[in-house]
Structure 1
Amino acid sequence: MHAGEFEPVRGVPDLYVHDTGMFDTDEYGSVYVYDAAEPVVIDTGTGANREALFETLDEIGIGRDELAWILPTHAHLDHAGGAGHLAKRYPEAEVLVPERGVRHLVDPEALVAGTKSAVEDQWRYYDDPEPIPEARITGLADGDRVDLGDRSLVVHEAPGHAPHHAVYHDPDADVVFTADAAGIYVPEVDTVRQTTPPPQFDLDQCLRDLQTIADLEPEYLCFGHFGPREYDDALIGEAKRAYVEWVEAVRAKRSELDDETVVERFESSSTDVEFWNPERARADASLNTRGVLTYLDRVEE
């Protein structure tokens, strides 16, 4: 699948995955569209390539007055940056996001500033988010259900990646929309890479979030990056090891070098350049390293 394209999610009726082409990398940004009785868009991309998503919704047959829900998994702008643009185009849709993310989408100024600081020159792949009117957005809590008419999505808080992060579970189809809670799926090697951005990554909570997903015993995982995959316990085990080993690798390197040199070392040695855009691979390595350094500062205080 290439940027701007969409396809059905095999094994899950009425569910489609749209490739935003985020960061000029095929399949890096996955948006999910459930053509349910009350249709929903799950995650929205950065908003930069929103016209292609609008076209996907048109082709699926969801009209401007028919989209019921816009459902970011969290407020990070690679997942929620397009929410306000969608809300503007689809006037009947209500935006739902974990409660701690509401303020960021109503007034995204601080979120934009933080994102620009974190991603630096990669901001060119983003678009300025459209603020969402307070009357159009509702906060979600753990255990809430989103009614899609013929099915529902259950909210499970997953704050290890960020305090405003959740995963959504469709118990009827046995699918979990993991966003970043299960890491980044790498189809080429059928494994998972950690995602540990600053400033609020928490290793222990990430491991608990992974266990939350495992305890749901789904049949399918819909990752926020690189699309869906059938579930198996081994993949969750690999994710747990990836997170623990990554934190320990950064901790060990920090014992030898100053923090900026640590970041530079992991940027230059990233193996993810083999699987996606080298620029993005290095940017991911920088973000992930800085996130762990911030986490280590916090737990060592």
Structure 2
Amino acid sequence: MTPDEWYHLSDAGHGVTRLTEPYVDPYYSANLYFVRGRDRDLLVDAGMGILPLKPVLPLTQGKPVLALATHVHVDHVGALHEFADRAGLAAETELYETMPDEATYAEEYREREAPVTRLPMPGWKITDYRLQPAPLTLPLQEGDRVDLGDRSFAVLELPGHSPCIALFDEANGVLFAGDAIYDDLLLDDMPCSDKVAYRATMRRLIEEVDAKVVFGGHGEPFDGARMREIARNYLENGSGV
């Protein structure tokens, strides 16, 4: 199978190309987002890295691209090492240098009964799957900005699911939320999770983030009203749905 066959690209509107890995176990099949900028392009999250990602992106020769991971989980960092410019949460800098199983949950993926629904290549074995280190060249924290020249994103720290960052384009109301919020059951029971912090994140999303469209780490995009509804549901019943 070629990378073009492995990844699915679609126009998500708002100047965003959405990429998915349809042959990955649905639990681990995350959304990746590519945004063209005037001065540089942006990739939000990097999937599983089972097949090369960079060849399928609509890159412009000579223009730099920043690959940003919203958090260090396996389904968001697999192909991060393919890019020269790599951003992520400053507090997780050491983890990107080694990609340890206990932080990325790669070992749990290797134990899945059906990690893929189609083999990416003849002879591929899940037991051989490993993440490659991808040291950050741009550690980010709350208050930083990611500037593409004609679009600028505020970096928001939205912990709870895990230590997570999100990107918010205030001018256009576009939020790349990673796994901080998406339209499904929100996971808050992992060793890296913090339910108290997650509740604070939900209150912040309701009160402070005027998103028009939310591109989450999983599932379909949704609008700001649905974001606030998911956040309120989490505060009321602890699930988000």
TM-score, normalised to structure 2, is 0.80
| Pairs within 5 Å for 1:211-250 | 211-214=203-206, 215-232=208-225, 234-242=226-234, 244-246=236-238
| Pairs within 5 Å for 1:39-54 | 39-48=41-50, 50-51=51-52, 53-54=53-54
- In structure 1, the gaps of 5 or more residues are 88-92, 186-191, 248-271, 273-301
Query: Deviation of residue 24 (structure 1)?
Result: 3.6
Offset from partner CA, 1:85-106 (integer Å, 9 cap, x none): x22xxxxx41110112211111
Q: Is 1:199–2:191 an aligned residue pair? A: yes
Query: Deviation of residue 142 (structure 1)?
Result: 0.4
Confirm or deny: 8 A CA contact 1:104 1:110 kept in the other structure: no
Distance, in Å, in 2 between the alignment partners of 1:195 and 1:39 is: 30
| Pairs within 5 Å for 1:133-172 | 133=135, 137-163=137-163, 165-172=164-171
Which one-letter code corresponds to 1:83 in the other structure? Answer: L
Confirm or deny: 8 A CA contact 1:3 1:26 kept in the other structure: no
Query: Deviation of residue 132 (structure 1)?
Result: 2.2
Which one-letter code corresponds to 2:197 in the other structure? Answer: Q
| Pairs within 5 Å for 1:178-189 | 178-182=177-181, 184-185=182-183
Which one-letter code corresponds to 1:115 in the other structure? Answer: Y
Query: Deviation of residue 230 (structure 1)?
Result: 2.2
Which one-letter code corresponds to 1:224 in the other structure? Answer: G
Confirm or deny: 8 A CA contact 1:46 1:79 kept in the other structure: yes
**Alignment match, 2:60:** 62
In terms of fraction of residues, the more helix-rich structure is 1
Offset from partner CA, 1:78-128 (integer Å, 9 cap, x none): 1122211x22xxxxx41110112211111113546x614544612955742
Confirm or deny: 8 A CA contact 1:32 1:43 kept in the other structure: yes
Distance, in Å, in 1 between the alignment partners of 2:232 and 2:179 is: 13
Distance, in Å, in 2 between the alignment partners of 1:144 and 1:22 is: 35
Which one-letter code corresponds to 1:6 in the other structure? Answer: L
Offset from partner CA, 1:23-43 (integer Å, 9 cap, x none): 344994210000112101001
Which one-letter code corresponds to 2:105 in the other structure? Answer: T
**Alignment match, 1:75:** 72
Which one-letter code corresponds to 2:144 in the other structure? Answer: D
Confirm or deny: 8 A CA contact 1:193 1:242 kept in the other structure: no
TM-score, normalised to structure 1, is 0.65
Confirm or deny: 8 A CA contact 1:94 1:137 kept in the other structure: yes
SS of 1:122's partner is coil
RMSD: 2.8
| Greater shift in the superposed pair: 237-246 or 27-36 | 237-246
Which one-letter code corresponds to 2:188 in the other structure? Answer: T
SS of 1:23's partner is coil
Confirm or deny: 8 A CA contact 1:194 1:243 kept in the other structure: no
Offset from partner CA, 1:43-79 (integer Å, 9 cap, x none): 111111x43x33431xx2434x434211000111111
- In structure 2, the gaps of 5 or more residues are 117-125
SS of 2:24's partner is helix
SS of 1:95's partner is strand
Distance, in Å, in 2 between the alignment partners of 1:26 and 1:78 is: 9
Distance, in Å, in 2 between the alignment partners of 1:119 and 1:246 is: 25
Q: Is 1:108–2:99 an aligned residue pair? A: yes
The number of equivalent residue pairs is: 222
Confirm or deny: 8 A CA contact 2:156 2:166 kept in the other structure: yes
Detail structure 1 runs of 4+ shifted over 6 Å in the superposition: none
**Alignment match, 2:119:** none
Confirm or deny: 8 A CA contact 1:9 1:15 kept in the other structure: yes
| Pairs within 5 Å for 1:87-98 | 87=83, 93-98=84-89
| Pairs within 5 Å for 1:3-42 | 4-10=7-13, 12=14, 14-21=15-22, 23-25=24-26, 28-37=29-38, 38-42=40-44
